[in-house]
Amino acid sequence: MQREDQISQRLLLWFQGYEAPAALLEFVRQHPIGGVTLFRKLNLATPPQVRALTGALQAAARAAGQLPLLICADQEGGQLQAVAGATAFPGNMALGATGDAGLARRVGAALGRELAALGVNVNFAPVVDVQSNPANPVIGVRSFSDDPALVGRLASAMVEGLQASGVAATAKHFPGHGDTDVDTHHRLGVVPHDLTRLQQLELAPFAATIAAGARLVMAAHLAVPALTGRVDVPTTLAPGVLEDLLRGTLGFRGVVISDALNMAGFGTEAVWNDRLVQAAAAGVDLLLLAEPNDPEQAYATLLAAAQAGHLAPANLEAAAERVTALKRWLATQEQPDLAVVGCAAHQALAAEVAARAITLVRDRVGRLPLRLPAEARLVVVTPELADLTPADTSSYERCALGAAIRRYHAHTDELVIAADPSAAEVAALSAELADYDLVIIGTINATTRPGQAALVEALVQQGVPVVAAALRLPYDTMVYPAAPTCLCTYSIALPALTALADTLFGRADAPGRLPVQSSA
């Protein structure tokens, strides 16, 4: 393979539009690129549109005599759903609450079948981070648990399921993003632990997923001073982490991909070109370009670096071979019919996960199951939905808890409140809700939005009957300790809300177990 082609294979491009722009198709014809990443806000509207888009991209590659492109997306389930119209699985922490590796494998297989039908052949999942820090702003319910053994077991099962369906799995975010208090979209995170702790907690699940055959590992923009001796060098620039630890100690033989290179944790625009070359030299095989990264500039920068001797020929050859080996495997996979996307079997599987995840944290007053007279006034209160981080698709969703409750109690009102109501708003809401016979209040990350917890506590103090449900992080149940009845769903997806209503009214049990112990 020519040096120019070896460099092209390392690029994952981005673009804007529901159809492939002519300039992008021409770039694909001229350069055997690694592939593209599709983003919900930029590229993904409906399943038929996605399949047409991926088909056009692959047709351009075929016409140029190239191997299939890597077409990638973040279809984690739960908090990050890249594809509209796909089955809304409740997500990793819901699976963690079930503790069932077989269920995780089935979900992985279903995710893979749907992505394969859409023409997406690389999933940036599963998240293998251990959610050990309740203040973590970006991982949360994207993790399976705070138990590294459980994370490794469930993540490995999901890898097996995805890849059995012909979609390459990506274990992320290496070497572990679970114990950070910053979002690397905004600045560099630091994991301050020594090597012994890292091996026991952060690295253990990655070792398990590598053993399970994960074909990609995503390197995070995290500084790990125990591994590099520096607090200002991200993993994506650290050969001691990517080559010595990941490939050497852990024995990973697949493709190393960077996290998105538009994230502030990677570096500022002033140093971006230099860091792009450093990342390639450090052992990143696939460079994940994202808005506003310029693909032409990235290609020219890497080519100039290779011509100047800053990228060794052996580095270029090895990276290109790993990428093309992945493409050759993908070329052997079959594409399912589009009818599998959102099919009845997958909807039933999502409902099973949701029902088995529902967790009853406490019911000190024996309020459940609910037995309300038909004339009782009930209100469902939920916060307005917004993306909690750039790795979130909440803003595309509608919280249908009111509709789920109304199936059992027709006289149900709904109220959407601010995500973090002020003290004045809490006082006004408390007065407005005081006359209801029951308030079902759903919270979303109340640990960082104290107004939600304040409202729950105020209602309880007024003597209003309250049922509180943590709709995402189970830590919420700790910040409104006065609430006598609390449950966890781990998801705002419709299957989770339906399962919650079934549990509240005694049609189903709450078999889930808390997957993070600091919320107990």
Q: What is the distance between the alpha carbons of residues 403 and 274, in angstroms, rounded to a whole number? A: 53
The catalytically annotated residue of 179, 183, 259, 285 is: 259
Nearest to 91 by CA among 494, 387, 509: 494
| Structure token pair of residue 322 | 């790993």
CB-CB neighbours of 279 under 10 Å: 27
* Residue 259 a catalytic site member: yes
Q: What is the distance between the alpha carbons of residues 424 and 418, in angstroms, rounded to a whole number? A: 12
Nearest to 124 by CA among 3, 260, 16, 23: 260
Half-sphere exposure of 162 (CA within 13 A, CB side): 31
Distances (CA, A) of 133 to 152, 263, 332: 17, 21, 41
Q: What are phi and psi of 246, to 5 degrees?
A: -65, -50
- Residues counted in the chain: 520
Q: Give CA angle at 411 (410, 412), nearest 5°.
A: 95
Residues 6+ apart with CB under 8 A from 502: 355, 508
Assign 3-class secondary structure to 195-229.
Answer: HHHHHHHHCHHHHHHHHCCCCEEEECCEECHHHHC
Catalytic residues: 259
